[in-house]
Amino acid sequence: MTKTVDEIDFIRLALKEDIGKGDITARALSLKGIRGEAEVTAKDTGIISGIDPFCLVFRELSRSISFRIYKKDGRSVKPGDRIIALDGALDILLMGERTAMNILSHLSGVATLTRRFVDAIRDSGAKILDTRKTMPGMRLWEKKAVAHGGATNHRFGLYDMYLIKENHIAAAGGLEAAMKAALVHRKRTGAKLEIEVKNLDELRIVLAYAPDYILLDNFAIPMIKKGVALVRAAERSLVLEASGNVTLDNVARIAATGVDRISVGAITHSAPALDLSFRVLDR
Low-confidence ranges of the chain (pLDDT < 70): 1-5
Distance CA 171, CA 111 (A): 36
Q: Is 196 a catalytic residue?
A: yes
Read off the pTM. Answer: 0.95
CA distances in angstroms from 229 to 10, 51, 215, listed in the order given? 46, 44, 15
Please tell me which residue in 75, 82, 133, 192 is annotated as part of the active site: 133
Catalytic choice (217, 241, 260, 261): 217
CB 79 within 8 A of CB 43: yes
Instruction: For residue 144, indicate whether it is catalytic.
Output: no
Distance CA 212, CA 161 (A): 10
How high is the pLDDT of residue 2? 53
Strand ranges for 218-265 from DSSP E: 239-243, 261-263
Name the catalytic one among 73, 81, 142, 196: 196
Q: Which of 3, 43, 98, 139 is catalytic?
A: 98
Per-residue pLDDT tens over the stretch 226-239: 999 999 998 778 99
Query: Is residue 232 among the annotated active site residues?
Result: no
Among 3, 116, 165, 236, the active-site one is 165
**Is 78 an annotated catalytic residue?**
no
Set out the domains of the chain in order of their start, with CATH numbers.
Answer: 5-111+272-280 (3.90.1170.20), 118-269 (3.20.20.70)
- pLDDT for 4: 61
Q: Can you give the pLDDT at residue 33?
A: 86
CB atoms within 10 A of CB 183: 14
Q: Verify whether residue 187 is a known catalytic residue.
A: no
